[in-house]
Amino acid sequence: MRKVGIGQALLAALWMAAASAASPTEVQRSLEQTARATTPGFAGFSAHRGEKFFKSTHGGEWSCASCHTQDPRASGRHAKTEKEIRPLSPVADPRRFTDPAKVEKWFRRNCNDVVGRACTPLEKGDVLAYVMSVRK
Amino acid sequence: MKRTANQWIHGGPIATALLLLVLAGHVRVAGADDDRFTASNEKWRAECGSCHVAYPPQLLAEESWQKLMSGLDKHFGTDASLDAVAAVEIGAFLTENAARGKRAWRAGSALRITETAWFRKEHRKVSAATWKNSKVKSPANCSACHTGAERGDYSEHSVSVPR
């Protein structure tokens, strides 16, 4: 019951945020609020954990790196269709993580494909911390 | 127009040959134009062009697009799910511009463009080795050979098969 409530609150927040552009830091702050409410003992996001999550497979064929490469500053390639994908890190492409609805859409799809379920707010925040932490 | 043609034909065999060439050229251009697909929709291009080239709606029958749009969460081994608003707009664009006539008949009810009868026929001369080339990998990777695929140009004039 409680989870549904938070999900709805998050959706509403995203809906409102979708109307205006955001910065990666704002997207991260909103993820942090949700993570704090849903993760027992939450002690902040970790770029290190995010990197590990990003580069590992999770029981399936693909990792996040299968399409986005081992270096989030580099252009990727879709593992099945070969189509080029712009770098995922906002350090390399400032358009990344500026549209909350788009971020949520791709987390939903890609986590489903790679992990077989939705990512937790902690996992999403860790990945974002990782791709924001890399240097130019 | 008619008079000019008559004058040419009366002008002798060279002129006749010229006229035939012009006419033949005309027919060829018209045929190639059929494979330049210009119908576009912003949402469709953004959403259906993010993982692969946005496949022109004219290449599958209406029924196939409907089926495909109702199963986006399990889309050829990936999750391509959309919010309801985008799904309705894109679905309408695809079905309004879907294959008609002969191409529809030869598309049948396939969900893959690459499994339609027309696709097999147009590509019968492509060798097995070419399909397996690492620059192609999948027959669905149209832009590996159709250099104008992003613009919807699949005419035979812009084909360059990698070796």
Domains recognised in chain A with CATH numbers: 22-133 (1.10.760.10)
Mean pLDDT, to the nearest integer, of B34-55? 94
pLDDT at position B107 is: 86
pLDDT at position B23 is: 43
Whether residue A29 lies within 8 A of chain B, CB to CB, comes out as no
pLDDT band with cut points at 50, 70 and 90 for residue A7: low
The C-alpha torsion from B67 through B70 and B72 to B77, rounded to 10°, is -50
Cβ contact A109–B52 (<8 Å): no
- B93 within 8 A of B87, measured Cβ to Cβ: no
pLDDT at position B32 is: 39
Mean pLDDT, to the nearest integer, of B9-30? 43
Distance from CA of A71 to the nearest CA of B (A): 19
Residue contacts between A and B (CB atoms, under 8 Å) = 32
d(CA A18, CA A27): 11
pLDDT of A14 over the 90 cut = no
pLDDT of B98 over the 80 cut = yes
pLDDT at position A9 is: 56
Whether residue A83 lies within 8 A of chain B, CB to CB, comes out as yes
pLDDT of A12 over the 60 cut = no
Whether residue A84 lies within 8 A of chain B, CB to CB, comes out as no
pLDDT band with cut points at 50, 70 and 90 for residue B15: very low
pLDDT band with cut points at 50, 70 and 90 for residue B35: confident
**A39 secondary structure, DSSP code:** S
Cβ contact B51–A108 (<8 Å): no
Bridge partners of B153? B36, B148
pLDDT band with cut points at 50, 70 and 90 for residue B25: very low
pLDDT of B7 over the 50 cut = no
User: CA-nearest residue of chain A to B81?
Assistant: A109
- pLDDT, tens digit (0-9, with 9 covering 90-100), for B45-68: 999 999 999 999 999 999 999 999
d(CA B85, CA B98): 20
- Amino acid sitting at position A71: D
Out of A6-10, A105-109, B52-56, B96-100, least confident range: A6-10
Which residues of chain A lie closer than 8 angstroms to B140, CB-CB? 81
Which residues of chain B lie closer than 8 angstroms to A110, CB-CB? 79
What are the structural domain ranges in chain B? 1-32, 42-158
- pLDDT, tens digit (0-9, with 9 covering 90-100), for A42-55: 999 999 999 999 99
Residue B77's nearest CA partner among B52, B56, B59, B54 is: B52
Query: Which residue among B79, B81, B138 sits closest to A81, beta carbon to beta carbon?
Result: B138
pLDDT at position A10 is: 55
- pLDDT, tens digit (0-9, with 9 covering 90-100), for A20-40: 579 999 999 999 999 999 999
Extract the runs of DSSP E, i.e. beta strands, from A10-52. none
Whether residue B132 lies within 8 A of chain A, CB to CB, comes out as no
Query: Which residue among A80, A101, A105 sits closest to B77, beta carbon to beta carbon?
Result: A80
Mean pLDDT, to the nearest integer, of B133-142? 93
Which residues of chain A lie closer than 8 angstroms to B80, CB-CB? 109
Distance from CA of B37 to the nearest CA of A (A): 20
Query: Which residue among B53, B76, B79 sits closest to A109, beta carbon to beta carbon?
Result: B79
Find where tokens 């004058």 sit.
B7
pLDDT of B21 over the 50 cut = no
User: CA-nearest residue of chain B to A109?
Assistant: B79
Give ipTM to 2 decimals.
Answer: 0.82
